[in-house]
Amino acid sequence: MLRKKNGIWRCLAVPVLAVFVVFASLTQPAWAGRKSQDKKAKTEQKKSAADTSSEQLAESASKADASQYVGEETCLQCHEDMAKSFDEGPHWKTLQDQRRGPAFQGCEACHGPGKAHAESADPTKIIRFTGLSKTEVSRRCLQCHQYGQEHENFLRSAHQKNNVGCTDCHSIHHANVAKNLLVKAQPLLCYSCHLDVKPAFSMPYHHKVNEGLIACTNCHNPHGGFITRQLRSTAGQDVLCFNCHTDKAGPFAFEHAPAKTEGCVACHMPHGSPNPRLLRRSQVNLLCLECHTLTVDQLAPAIPTFHNQAQKYQACTMCHMAIHGSNTDHFFFKP
Ligand code: HEC
Ligand code: HEC
Ligand code: HEC
Ligand code: HEC
Ligand code: HEC
Ligand code: HEC
Ligand code: HEC
Ligand code: HEC
Ligand code: HEC
Ligand code: HEC
């Protein structure tokens, strides 16, 4: 079979391979240790030869030795239609990296050792992702993708906990958006499950997510994290909002306390709002007075008695203009 592709990469592979050979010989003890482990694994593998379901195959995949792998060229002899998605997607790059052996290369990096299947063409002898639980699918992907801040918290994410796995958002062979192998483009991808947040982005004032100016993933990490709402940083610290609204970051000589303690969401609705400036209240004085009255909040001083709310003192930010903090004025009259 002819596949006129990867020519450059196959050439590159030679020097790369040479580097790996040197690397491998330097790390001899680790490799030697693994071989004896593999022998033990082989006998265990024999014992479970009758196992056929994808779950069981997935479980035993980590124990298979190199001889159980046939390489992607063999797979493609029968599955020619998979060549395009494999070659044009990112995962052909796994062929370049030989450090961890055939279990981490090509088709079999995901589908597990394929010798038994390639010889019999029996679909029950290969890992079919449709036969795996969401968690098990994600675990297979995480073998390679669990490193780095972006993905390391997936197993404790709200998505994983609610049975949403990698293949709900990504498709290896049938991606509709090539970049990041997404099943759908944002924000439709997210709306397909989060219909409840959609109306906020159609409000008169909203972050322009539907218009493509910013994405859900600018603020949320779909792969999870330590922070509530899968936010990329805390609403309290607001590093999140400062990514774009740098002028609000300060530090200011005179900080407006809630911007630091409760964060931007104390006053703004992050998705969208019926009110200008994404404010939580339709009139700014109502917003301010939630805190600046005698009774509600001891931390915030009540407005002075001369602030007659029937008159000009309604428009608080006319005078207290530097509401996010000021370097010159205690009362935020000037920036
Ligand atoms: C000798 C031909 C042959 C070879 C070689 C082969 N397969 Fe298959 N494979 C088949 C046939 C036939 C089926 C069943 C087709 C079907 O059910 O649509 C199948 C089914 C599958 C399935 C399940 C498809 C589904 O619809 O659930 C996967 C996954 C798969 N093969 C992956 C591989 C991988 C990975 C390799 C290389 C390690 C490989 N195959 C090598 C012939 C082959
Ligand atoms: C990065 C992981 C990964 C790699 C690499 C990979 N696959 Fe798949 N494969 C999957 C997943 C996940 C599915 C389940 C369907 C889906 O989500 O697209 C799948 C489905 C399949 C199917 C079922 C039919 C279909 O269209 O969905 C076949 C056959 C298959 N793969 C063969 C291959 C072959 C052959 C290769 C190598 C050329 C390969 N796969 C490489 C992850 C992978
Ligand atoms: C809820 C949907 C969703 C789930 C579940 C999900 N992803 Fe993603 N993933 C995305 C989106 C959206 C992007 C693009 C992010 C961007 O544009 O900033 C992405 C990007 C990526 C990237 C490339 C970008 C990068 O920064 O590294 C990888 C790799 C990836 N995901 C792997 C995974 C793996 C592995 C899993 C399962 C453990 C997974 N994803 C689960 C939605 C998801
Ligand atoms: C054998 C290791 C390995 C496994 C297993 C693996 N990947 Fe990858 N993945 C890679 C490599 C290598 C890249 C390319 C990274 C790069 O280009 O820097 C990649 C890239 C990606 C990307 C980024 C695509 C882009 O456009 O940048 C996504 C998304 C992704 N993988 C999802 C998955 C999913 C989902 C699974 C499980 C079905 C999976 N991967 C399994 C090694 C792996
Ligand atoms: C396959 C369905 C599905 C897709 C697609 C999906 N999610 Fe989710 N997501 C869920 C479920 C289920 C939960 C947990 C229940 C809940 O809080 O709504 C969740 C939780 C979340 C949470 C945490 C909510 C909280 O209250 O803590 C955020 C944030 C989130 N998803 C963002 C996204 C983003 C951004 C995307 C698109 C990249 C996305 N989701 C795509 C199903 C999905
Ligand atoms: C400008 C940043 C930003 C963007 C863009 C954004 N979010 Fe949020 N999102 C937040 C913040 C901040 C919260 C937490 C609100 C709170 O705690 O009061 C949140 C909360 C959520 C929640 C939890 C439930 C809720 O309504 O409070 C979900 C689900 C969610 N976002 C999904 C999405 C989806 C889907 C998109 C894209 C369509 C998106 N977000 C775009 C900042 C953003
Ligand atoms: C990825 C960049 C980005 C992030 C992150 C971001 N914003 Fe925005 N924001 C924008 C852009 C761009 C606009 C103005 C463009 C538009 O929508 O008309 C905007 C507009 C606003 C407005 C309205 C300004 C006006 O003049 O009406 C407010 C308020 C706001 N953002 C608050 C926040 C808060 C709070 C957060 C954190 C939860 C946040 N933003 C995170 C990019 C971002
Ligand atoms: C105490 C309430 C409050 C907090 C906390 C707050 N804001 Fe505001 N913000 C306002 C008010 C009120 C306006 C409207 C000002 C006006 O109309 O002159 C505004 C306006 C804005 C605007 C649009 C006008 C401009 O100055 O650029 C942006 C962007 C914005 N805020 C971002 C943020 C960010 C980011 C944070 C978190 C650091 C934050 N805000 C925290 C009350 C607040
Ligand atoms: C979430 C509660 C909250 C909201 C909403 C809020 N503030 Fe504040 N504000 C505070 C706190 C707490 C302080 C700090 C008091 C201190 O440092 O002793 C403060 C301080 C101030 C000060 C300085 C007072 C002084 O004596 O130094 C002014 C002026 C002020 N706020 C005006 C406003 C205006 C105008 C609004 C509406 C746009 C507003 N605040 C909204 C909580 C709030
Ligand atoms: C016409 C200008 C103007 C408007 C409008 C205005 N203020 Fe003031 N504000 C002042 C002045 C002047 C002071 C007193 C400064 C001083 O004591 O030196 C003040 C002081 C304050 C203080 C500090 C009180 C203290 O004891 O430390 C707070 C809080 C405050 N204003 C909140 C508000 C709120 C909330 C609104 C809207 C409901 C508002 N202001 C509207 C001019 C204004």
Question: Per residue in 97-118, pLDDT tens?
Answer: 888 889 999 999 999 999 999 9
H-type alpha helices, 134-274: 134-145, 158-161, 166-169, 188-191, 216-219, 239-242, 257-261
Residue 2 has pLDDT above 50, yes or no: no
- Same-domain check for residues 219 and 251: no
Residue 142 located in a structural domain: no
Mean pLDDT, the chain, rounded, equals 83
Q: What average pLDDT score do residues 227-249 get?
A: 77
What is the token pair recorded at 264? 């931007």
- Same-domain check for residues 217 and 191: yes
Q: Which of 82, 79, 107, 85 is nearest to 94 (CA)?
A: 107
- Same-domain check for residues 124 and 11: yes
Task: Give the least confident one: 92-96, 175-179, 204-208, 259-263.
Answer: 259-263
Residue 308 located in a structural domain: yes
pLDDT for position 53 = 67
How far, in Å, is the centroid of ligand 5 from the Cα of 132? 21
Write out the residue range of the structural domain in which residue 75 sits.
Answer: 7-131
Peptide bond into 251 cis (omega under 30): yes
Find all residues with CB under 8 Å of 256, minimum gap 6, and list them: 323, 324, 325, 332
Residue 231 located in a structural domain: no
- Same-domain check for residues 192 and 244: no
Domain count, the chain: 3
Of 225, 250, 284, the residue that ends a domain is 225
262 lines ligand 9 (CB under 6 A): yes
How far, in Å, is the centroid of ligand 4 from the Cα of 109? 10
- Same-domain check for residues 14 and 86: yes
Residue 191 located in a structural domain: yes
- Same-domain check for residues 12 and 119: yes
Distance CA 238, CA 217 (A): 15
- Same-domain check for residues 243 and 217: no
Residue 139 located in a structural domain: no
317 lines ligand 10 (CB under 6 A): no
- In the numeric block, the tokens 């082989």 are attached to 42
With beta carbons less than 8 A apart as the criterion, state whether 234 and 299 touch: no
Distance CA 271, CA 244 (A): 15
- Same-domain check for residues 13 and 127: yes
- Same-domain check for residues 221 and 308: no
- Same-domain check for residues 47 and 13: yes
Q: Whose CA is nearest to atom 38 of ligand 8?
A: 264
Residue of 220, 234, 238, 248 with the most ligand 6 atoms within 8 Å of its CB, for mutation: 220
- Same-domain check for residues 32 and 111: yes
Distance CA 61, CA 48 (A): 11
Residue 146 located in a structural domain: no
Residue of 299, 309, 313, 334 with the most ligand 10 atoms within 8 Å of its CB, for mutation: 313
Find all residues with CB under 8 Å of 247, minimum gap 6, and list them: none
Residue 153 has pLDDT above 80, yes or no: yes
- Same-domain check for residues 12 and 117: yes
pLDDT for position 6 = 46
Distance CA 133, CA 219 (A): 29
Distance CA 107, CA 90 (A): 12
Residue 232 located in a structural domain: no
Residue 149 located in a structural domain: no
Q: How confident is the model at residue 7 (pLDDT cuts 50, 70, 90)?
A: very low
Integer CA distances (angstroms), 200 to 194, 204, 237, 277, 325, in order: 11, 9, 23, 14, 28
- What digits encode the pLDDT tens for the residues 32-81? 333 344 444 443 343 333 334 688 888 888 787 888 999 999 999 999 99
